[in-house]
Amino acid sequence: MPNSSHATPPSDAGRGPSSIAARAMGGLRPTAASYLDGLNEEQRRAVEATEGPVLVLAGAGTGKTRVLTTRIAHLISTGRARPFDILSVTFTNKAAREMKHRIGTLVGPAGEGMPWLGTFHAIGTKILRRHAELVGLKSDFTILGTDDQLRLMKQVLKDQNIDEKRWPARALGHVIDGWKNRGLGPDQIPAGEAQAFAFGKGGDLYTAYQARLVTLNAVDFGDLLLLCLKLWRENPEVLTIYQDKFRYILVDEYQDTNVAQYLWLRLLGQTRKNIACVGDDDQSIYGWRGAEVDNILRFEHDFPGAVVVRLERNYRSTGHILAAASGLIAKNQGRLGKTLRTEDELGEPVTVSGAWDSEEEARLLAESIESLQAKQHPLSEIAVLVRISAQMREIEDRFVQLGLPYRVIGGPRFYERAEIRDALAYLRATKNPSDDLAFERIVNTPKRGLGDATLQQLHLYARAEQVPLLHAARKLCETDELKPRVRSTLRALTESFSRWARLVESNPHSEVAQTILEESGYTEMWQKEKSADAAGRLENLKEFVRSMEEFPDMGAFLEHVSLVMEASEAEGADRVSLMTLHAAKGLEFDTVFLPGWEDGLFPNQRALDESGRAGLEEERRLAHVGLTRARKRAKLSFAVNRRIHGLWSSTIPSRFIDELPETAVDVIEAPAHFSAGASRFDRNPQPFGSSYGTPGWQRAQANTGQGNGGSGNFGKGAAHTTARGFGASPGGGRGGPRQIEGELIAKSTGAPSAFETGMRVLHTKFGPGDVAAVDGNKLTVDFDKAGRKMVLDSFLQPA
DNA sequence: GGTACGCGGATTTTT
DNA sequence: TCCGCGTACC
């Protein structure tokens, strides 16, 4: 299986430009398209193999997007297809945007349009709106965000009298998402799995949830794909329309497709079979949310006769970086196997350095960045990639102290912010009076005295009368079932909605939105709020209203916002980028810092616990993604002590560090104060973490007296230096020196600290402060400016 | 109905 | 440690 890369351009019989006639005409065509210039041999093969199934295995930095866009340009300019004949799917809006842009520059106005280039979800939406009634919806259905989804789940759980503590709505959401990811409708769940949730109620809950969605005329993200499958299966004539329509299908990031997406593609592609998937099994890092690496591993089986092209020539990274990344990923089994090559120079080796704790790691990292900055290295070409968001705090703290400009990439999306969701809910409820979820969301936001009790009453009435909540509210106001005060508030609100609905008919929608936000008291709510981020939220609201102007009407705007709206990043400023490894996929930087390479953190313990070997391999792919983001410099680090959920735990270097090829790596010896010559290959845990009972401590205990036992990871890979201990404090007052492997751990710097509690000191970075506690050579100091920090005495001098 | 405190849980994240 | 949720109280 791994060696079918002998792809030749298909000389298909019959139609198409490779037909005899077409070939005869070949020379008459305007000279070979300039867009093909500069493609290497494999890339060109991937572009020109237009007919039949094609799998392009594109390693990191091998020109994947270029192949995709050139392929489209090729299809269009050779007359094989018109822009609207091509279905081209991506996962993110960003990728879709970039492709549109690049096609535009390749083929000019001819490529404009591309109505079927977009995310799976956007295209699914487009299709569903056209045939909504066939799946029991109206064509103006709403698309629910995760927060609405969650509230709906809660309602369903309540209806079925399920203890939400025992069976949280989030968990149910996860289970249902899982089913949807696998293309399973409520009636298709394997019997065994339906039992899994809440004593066998899983299936019923799913059914109830879907029923609620239908009554709300709403769908969740999963439905955008799942309902397409349902639509096509139940209405073959509709499927045929799309099979005919899409002469060519292109798929980006194929390794990230889930089962539902795979089925979606297979249905569409099974007649014409002109389906080209581009992906990299080594960059599959979304297994935890349903991506099936199997889809890519199985491609040749699913599409017999598929042409497979491997792109292995890397144009991004230097030799050492590529060697490190390749060496690491080679430890994975179950991959199709590619070997990245570069013609670039070896460049700087990947550096590996250790730190005493995560604070020191952040400090060293920031120092490195500052020294690069001093050498005129632009900050925008530096990225710090972490495994989990929680790592960011300490790093940010450090950057803030130093005044180092940085930006966090990722994080909450613009349209997921509370204020945007609220504003959106007002608009949704105005536009669509039966959007109960929207109404419910803002009925008491801002606080107007319509709490749970009133809402319960509304629900009861609405259910009895089979009408939407807003309608029920109007009716209830006409009765005397409500307390006078509640009644008048509620009446005012319902009247506002009627008024707003009339406004929408005849006024510019952004103005109406502005009016709604003001009259409802929503803007005022934030103006009154004094918290730090209130101003930012008001800013976001402004931006929200402003962005509406770009759309013809409110409906179009709502559609856009529910699927694609993103924060408008202030570009341009020279800043360091800070993000998770996941968020870094698809990006590249000259210099990449990879902190936190410690077992438990990375590879992440939870991934290991939950998915075992597969989990480990996915973590390794994540490491591979991280390394391959770097063009010229990759800098790994780890700390031997890290604060996890507020407790200090001792940690051991990541097993991935030992898996790197030594020739590509340069070990930065720990600073003298840190260790008496410890190597970074020293994976013996340090037994003086300050909290006993942590995993690190447990492992340390297990290790003592077991020779080189380790946690089962010894003995392979690079040579290990025998533990000489990481020096530093012998545990302070918590137990004195400890023995490991017959050696006494020396105090780090030998001499006990010259500082005492209460002394006034001066720190090289933090400035003046008072010593609050002494623990060997580690001192706790209350700095005048920086607050309480743990520092090493070597950075201090008496003040 | 609104607020103040205490408890438990805590990856990665797009659409 | 920090955040969100639920409960207890005003």
Residue A687: is its pLDDT beyond 70? no
- Res. A698: pLDDT tops 80: no
| Sequence-separated (6 or more) residues with CB below 8 Å from residue A149 | A173, A220
- How would you class A528 by CB atoms within 10 Å of its CB: exposed for 0-12, middle for 13-18, buried for 19 or more? exposed
The residues, ordered by sequence, that sit 6+ positions from A253 with a Cβ below 8 Å of its Cβ are A90, A91, A95, A278, A279
Helix axes A554-563, A509-519, angle to 10 degrees: 70
> Which one is predicted more confidently, A425 or A747?
A425
* Beta strand residue intervals within A375-440, DSSP E: 382-386, 406-408
Span of A19-23, A69-73, A674-678, A701-705 with lowest mean pLDDT: A701-705
C1' of B8 to CA of A555 (Å) = 42
* Residues listed for chain A: 799
Nearest nucleotide, CA A647 to C1': C1
Which run of H or E residues covers position A735?
none
If DSSP codes are grouped into helix, strand and coil, which group holds residue A382? Answer: strand
Grade residue A383 by pLDDT with cuts at 50, 70 and 90.
very high
Q: Residue A632: its pLDDT value, please?
A: 96
In this predicted structure, what is the pLDDT of residue A435? 87
Residue A422 CB: number of other CB atoms within 10 A?
Answer: 22
- pLDDT confidence of residue A758: 79
Q: What average pLDDT does range A113-135 have in this prediction?
A: 94
Tell me A381's DSSP state: G
Taking the stretch 1-40 of protein chain A, residues with Cβ within 7 Å of any atom in nucleic acid chain C are none
Q: What angle do CA A275, A564, A110 make, to 5 degrees?
A: 50
Q: Is A513 (CB) below 7 Å from strand B?
A: no
Query: Is A629 noted as a catalytic residue in this protein?
Result: yes
Q: How many CA atoms lie within 13 A of A329 on its CB side?
A: 29
Q: Does residue A606 carry a pLDDT above 80?
A: yes
- Which is catalytic among the residues A338, A417, A487, A629? A629
Please report which confidence band the pLDDT of residue A675 belongs to, taking 50, 70 and 90 as the band edges: very low
pLDDT recorded at residue A677: 37
Residue A769 confidence (pLDDT): 75
Read off the pLDDT of each residue in A752-773 and give the average, rounded to a whole number: 70
Best CA proximity match to A446, nearest among A504, A489, A500, A491: A489
Report the predicted TM-score, pTM, of the whole model to 2 decimal places: 0.78
Q: What is the DSSP letter of A94?
A: H
Asked if strand C comes closer than 7 Å to A742 Cβ, the answer is no
Is residue A78 part of the annotated active site? The answer reads no
> Distance (Å, rounded) from C-alpha A232 to C-alpha A186?
17
Confidence of residue A642 (pLDDT cuts 50, 70, 90): very high
Determine the distance between A91 (CA) and B12 (C1') in angstroms. Answer: 17
Q: Which of A20, A81, A668, A636 is nearest to A386 (CA)?
A: A636
Binned at pLDDT 50, 70 and 90, residue A626 comes out as very high
What would the two tokens of residue A198 be?
Answer: 């809440």
Average predicted confidence (pLDDT) for chain A? 80
Model pLDDT, residue A50: 92
Work out the average pLDDT over A289-298.
87
Give burial (CB, 10 Å; 0-12/13-18/19+) of A725. buried
Q: How confident is the model at residue A312 (pLDDT cuts 50, 70, 90)?
A: very high
In A387-448, which ranges are E strands?
406-408
Residue A345, SS3 per DSSP: coil
Q: Is A252 a catalytic residue?
A: yes
Top pLDDT among A153 and A315 is at A315
| Through-space separation of residue A165 CA and nucleotide C5 C1' in angstroms | 11
Closest nt to residue A607, judged CA to C1': B11
Among A22-26, A158-162, A631-635, A741-745, the least confident range = A741-745
What is the distance between the alpha carbons of residues A402 and A651, in angstroms, rounded to a whole number?
A: 27
- Quick one: pLDDT at residue A764? 54
**Has residue A593 got a pLDDT over 50?**
yes
- Is the pLDDT score of A739 beyond 70? no
A664 close to A379: Cβ distance less than 8 angstroms: no
User: Does residue A743 carry a catalytic annotation?
Assistant: no
Q: How far is the CA of A154 from the C1' of C7 (A)?
A: 19
pLDDT(A10) > 60: no
Please give the full DSSP string across A527-565, using - where no structure is assigned: HH--STTHHHHHHHHHHHHHHHTTSSSHHHHHHHHHHT-
CA distance A687 to A698: 9
Between the CA of A449 and the C1' of B3, what is the distance in angstroms?
14
Q: Residue A207: which of A191, A230, A233, A188 has the closest Cα?
A: A188
pLDDT of amino acid A661: 95
- A647 pLDDT more than 50: yes
A447 CB inside 7 Å of strand C: no
DSSP label at residue A70: H
Contact flag, residue A528 CB and nucleic strand B, below 7 A: no
More confident residue, A472 or A785: A472
| pLDDT range class, residue A148, cuts 50, 70, 90 | confident
Q: Give chain A's radius of gyration (CA, Å).
A: 30
**Does the CB of A164 sit below 7 A from strand C?**
yes
Q: What are the tens digits of pLDDT across the range A51-92?
A: 999 999 999 999 999 999 999 999 998 999 999 999 999 998
The answer to which of A1-5, A98-102, A406-410, A756-760 has the lowest mean pLDDT is A1-5
A511 CA, B11 C1': separation in Å?
42
Mean pLDDT for A507-534 is 86
Give the nucleotide at minimum CA-to-C1' distance from A451: B1
pLDDT at site A655:
94
pLDDT in tens, A340-363: 999 888 999 999 999 999 999 999
Residue A404 has pLDDT above 80, yes or no: yes
Nucleotide with minimal C1' distance from the CA of A390 is: B11
- pLDDT value, residue A789: 58
Lowest mean pLDDT among A58-62, A510-514, A707-711, A787-791: A707-711
Å from the A515 CA to the B5 C1': 38
SS (H, E, C) A594-659: ECCCECEECCEHHHHHHHHHHHHHHHHHHHHHHHCCEEEEEEEEEEEEEEECCEEEECCECHHHHH
pLDDT of residue A276: 96
Q: Please state whether the peptide bond connecting residue A603 to the residue before it is cis, i.e. omega within 30 degrees of 0.
A: yes
* Least trusted range by pLDDT, from A51-55, A348-352, A405-409, A699-703: A699-703
Annotated binding site of A for ATP: 58-65
Between A598 and A110, the higher pLDDT residue: A598
Out of A69, A125, A261, A283, the active site residue is: A283
Asked if strand B comes closer than 7 Å to A54 Cβ, the answer is: no
Pair A594, A634: CB distance under 8 Å: yes
Give the pLDDT of residue A5.
Answer: 36
- CA A88 – CA A102 distance, rounded (Å): 14
Cα–Cα distance measured from residue A245 to residue A39, given in angstroms and rounded to the nearest whole number = 30
Highest mean pLDDT among A196-210, A502-516, A744-758: A502-516
Intra-chain end-to-end CA distance of chain A, in Å = 69
pLDDT for res A788: 59
pLDDT of A620 reads 96
Sign of CA dihedral A427, A433, A437, A441: positive
* Å between CA of A748 and C1' of B10: 34
- Which among A178, A601, A656 is positioned nearest to A392, based on CA atoms? A601
DSSP state of A316: S
Strand partners, A591: A382, A633
Q: Is the pLDDT of residue A729 over 50?
A: no
Confidence of residue A622 (pLDDT cuts 50, 70, 90): very high
**What pLDDT score does A25 carry?**
54
Strand B contact with A753 (CB < 7 A) = no
- What single-letter amino acid sits at A389? S
Give the pLDDT confidence of A314-339 residue by residue, as tens digits. 999 999 999 999 999 999 987 888 88
Q: Which nucleotide is the nearest neighbour of A645, by CA and C1'?
A: C1
What does the pLDDT read at residue A99? 92
Which residue has better confidence, A188 or A755?
A188
Beta bridge partners of A637: A353
A90 is catalytic: no
Per-residue pLDDT at A318:
95
Gap between the Cα atoms of A589 and A632, Å rounded: 8
Is A572 (CB) below 7 Å from strand C?
no
Smallest CA–C1' distance to B8, residue: A165
Q: What is the pLDDT of residue A29?
A: 46
The pLDDT value recorded for residue A445 is 85
**A122 or A525, which is more confident:** A122
Residue A537: the pLDDT is 83
Question: Can you say which residues of A are annotated as belonging to the binding site?
Answer: 58-65
pLDDT given for residue A684 in this prediction: 40
CB of A645 lies under 7 Å from some atom of strand C: yes
Residues β-bridged to residue A386: A580
Which of the residues A43, A44, A50, A64 is marked catalytic?
A64
Q: Look at phi and psi of residue A594 and say left if phi exceeds 0, alpha if psi is from -120 to 50, else beta.
A: beta
